[in-house]
Amino acid sequence: MSPDPANRRSTGSARDPGSFRDPTSQVFSIDGEIFRGLDQHALADYQAAAQTTFFPRLLTEGAVVGTDLLASPPPELSQWAGVLRHDRVSTITYPFEWAFEMLRDAALLQLDVTAAALGEGFITKDATSYNVQFEGSRPVFIDVGSFQPLRKGEQWYGYRQFCELFLNPLVLQAVGGVAFHPWLRGAIDGISPSELAPLIEGKQRLNRGLLVHVRMHARAENRYADADSERDISNEMKQAGLGPAVLSAQVANLRRTVEGLTWKAQRSTWSDYSDRGHYSDNDLAAKDRFVADTIKAHPGAAVLDLGANDGRFSKLALENGASRVVAVDSDHLVIDRLYRHLRDTGESRILPLVIDLANPSPGMGWRGVERRSFTDRMNVDIVLCLAVVHHLALTDTVPFDLIVDLLADFGSDLVVEFPHRDDPMAARLLARKRSGLFDHYDRPQWEAALGRRFTINATETAPSGRRTLYRCTPL
Amino acid sequence: MFAYLDAQTGSMIAAALAGGAAGIGVLLRMYSNRFLGIFSKKHRERAAADAASLMDSPSESINS
């Protein structure tokens, strides 16, 4: 949520580039603090919500981001009727970077927040998965501007958005067996019911939740595609008695449908990596020590663990004084398992993300800045890049200097591991290559590339002599 | 004041269907109101007045 220079130029303010769709309530980042400007209607809605019992309760529980109405707002925001200050979320992430179970928990949070609001005559006027963030492994609802009193006969305007950005990606993964990440990343408004409906086949066609929210939704969408101009359905429904009881039943029905969705994948390329059978005990102990010593020298550091797998080194970082860790891996299943483990053990300082380093999230949406790139959002002190370089260099065939450029993009201290040609994992990857094509994969050329962007402060070769660890600071 | 999102008819129908017996009751009443509305000037005028109040604008007759 840091200010974007391009946005400053065009608006003369520090409006968050992802906050412009709701004209009544918009987010700003000023001097590292997060503010929300409210127009007179949104301010009245906020003040009404603050008088309820559900809103303070959600704040106390941490389900909604910490929020205060400011008596003296920053002068830059003087044009707004009211200004809120929000607690800053450590790392902004997007739903196409979450594991299945994270998106599912975020969906349940959105529904619980909406149900709580409905219980006291309020509604959430939208329901996008971008309105939920993860503080470590804990989902938090951040769109405080979404709450408004429910008017007589009004529908839940967020229903369609909920289906497109929460439910349908979950159905795609759980029922279709198709990863939701590429589709959600490519479609900022999510997956429509008519796009998803053809994937519901066999006995899944009998699933009541999918029948209503996907298949009948798609059919109604097609049937009434041109009806909006002919009839005022919204008003006709009001006449027919639409009210909070129907909306509460809708939300409860959605909750049952989401709860019924599970992703049953058991095995993936990296899901059995955690036994680390290819490491000798001595090598692993030396690596642990090297990482621990680095973290101990930076108490309270924020750490980015690239290729985190089961989170072994993320947890080691916390044990040695790190304040929080972003743990990324390209393997969806290992991140899903890591998230479940963190949630079930109550460890909320690790944020697991599904990220392919060879193709990290780009800037996207309006002017390419509405959703910011992965590297742009990582505000960390130390990057751990352990057992990753050989995959980037040999599987993804990325030259050493470009790998080092990626590591330098984070602008942080670095601990990086280089497996030599005779390391069993590197040797296995090299064995697939045509002879002579990867002769440049050696330690001197790696160190030359590393030295171009980093100062190497410490080097340690594992007892087996097959891997070397480097402790570096950016030039 | 309305939400900034546009409501889509198909989604409204699906949402009502998801609203259990109460939601289906709304749809049945809506369709019966439509049927009656064909014949009844009173129904048309009441619907127009309600639409106007929901839009926060002065009431206008549907025949004007």
Would you say residue A266 lies in a domain?
A: no
* Contact flag B29-A217 (C-beta cutoff 8 Å): no
* Same structural domain, A116 and A176: yes
A90 Cα to chain B: minimum distance (Å): 29
Nearest CB to A156; choose among B15, B22, B51:
B15
* Same domain membership, residue A213 and residue A299: no
In a domain, A264, yes or no: no
Please determine, for residue A228, whether its predicted confidence score (pLDDT) is greater than 90: no
> For residues A172 and A230, which has the higher predicted lDDT (pLDDT)?
A172
Q: Which of B16, B27, B51 sits opposite A235 (nearest CB)?
A: B51
pLDDT tens figures, A362-380: 999 999 989 999 999 999 9
pLDDT at A1: 39
What is the Cα–Cα distance from A189 to A399, expressed in whole angstroms? Answer: 35
Whether residue A50 lies inside any domain: the answer is yes
In the block, which residue shows the tokens 């009544």?
A24
| Interchain contact, A240 vs B27, CB within 8 Å | yes
Which residues of B fall within a CB distance of 8 Å from A157? 2-3, 5, 7
Q: What is the CATH number of the domain that holds A285?
A: 3.40.50.150
- Whether A349 and A207 map to the same domain: the answer is no
| Nearest chain A alpha carbon to B23 | A246
The pLDDT of residue A447 is 97
Say if B24 is an interface residue toward chain A (CB within 8 Å): no
Selection from B51, A126, B6, B34 nearest residue B26 by Cα: B34
Which residues are within 8 A (CB) of A299 and not within 5 positions of it... i.e. 6 or more apart?
A321
Q: What percent of chain A has pLDDT over 70?
A: 93
Closest CA to A416 of A304, A333, A259: A304
Helices (H) and strands (E) in chain B, counts: 3, 0
User: Is residue A35 within 8 Å of residue A22, measured between CB atoms?
Assistant: no
Exposure string for B46-61, b = 16+ CB within 10 A, e = fewer = ebbebbbebeeeeeee
Contact (CB<8Å) A220/B9:
yes
Q: Do residue B54 and residue A254 have CB atoms under 8 angstroms apart?
A: no
Same structural domain, A204 and A320: no
Residues of chain B found within 8 Å of residue A220, distances taken between Cβ atoms: 9-11, 13-14
Contact A249 B29 (CB under 8 A): no
User: Residue A207: is its pLDDT beyond 70?
Assistant: yes
Task: Name the more confident of A31 and A291.
Answer: A291
Out of A209, A228, A259, pick the residue that ends a domain. A259
B20 shares contact with chain A (CB less than 8 Å): yes
Between CA A248 and CA A115 the distance in angstroms is 6
pLDDT of residue A445: 97
Interface probe with A: pick from B2, B6, B8, B55, most Cβ of A within 10 Å: B8
CA closest to A250 among chain B residues: B19
Decide if A265 is inside a domain.
Answer: no
Q: Which of B1, B57, B59 to mutate to test binding with chain A, by most A CBs within 10 Å of its CB?
A: B1
Please tell me which residue of chain B has the smallest CA distance to A219.
B10
Number of cross-chain residue pairs from A and B with Cβ atoms under 8 Å apart: 135
Using a CB-CB distance cutoff of 8 angstroms, which residues of chain A are in contact with residue B54? 151, 153, 234-235, 238
Residue A168 sits in the same domain as residue A291: no
A79/A103 same-domain check = no
* Tokens representing residue B20 in the block: 């259990």
Residue among A424, A316, A348 nearest A133 (CA): A348
Q: Which two tokens stand for residue B28?
A: 């049945």
**Does the predicted TM-score (pTM) go above 0.95?**
no
Residue A233 has its nearest CB partner, among B1, B9, B54, at B9
Average pLDDT of the residues in A201-229: 83
For residues A325 and A343, membership in a common domain is answered with yes
Inter-residue long-range contacts of A391-398, CB under 8 Å, 24+ positions, other chains counted: A391/A307, A391/A429, A392/A357, A392/A358, A393/A438, A393/A441, A394/A426, A394/A429, A394/A430, A394/A433, A394/A438, A394/A441, A395/A429, A396/A358, A398/A358
How would residue A227 be classed by pLDDT, with cut points 50, 70 and 90? low
The predicted pLDDT at position B57 comes to 46
Domain that holds residue A460: 273-474
Q: Looking at the structure, tell me whether residues A173 and A44 fall in a common domain.
A: no
Residue B36 pLDDT exceeds 80: no
Q: Is the pLDDT of residue A448 over 90?
A: yes
Could you tell me if A303 and A223 lie in one domain? no
Distance CA B62, CA B64 (A): 6
Q: Do B29 and A221 touch (CB under 8 A)?
A: no
Instruction: Tell me what percent of the residues of chain A surpass a pLDDT of 90.
Output: 77
**Which domain-ending residue is among A232, A259, A286?**
A259
The reply to whether A441 and A344 lie within a common domain is yes
Has residue A399 been placed in a domain?
A: yes
At residue A267, does pLDDT exceed 90? no
Mean pLDDT is lowest, of A64-68, A239-243, A400-404, B42-46, for B42-46
**Do residues A406 and A374 both lie within one domain?**
yes
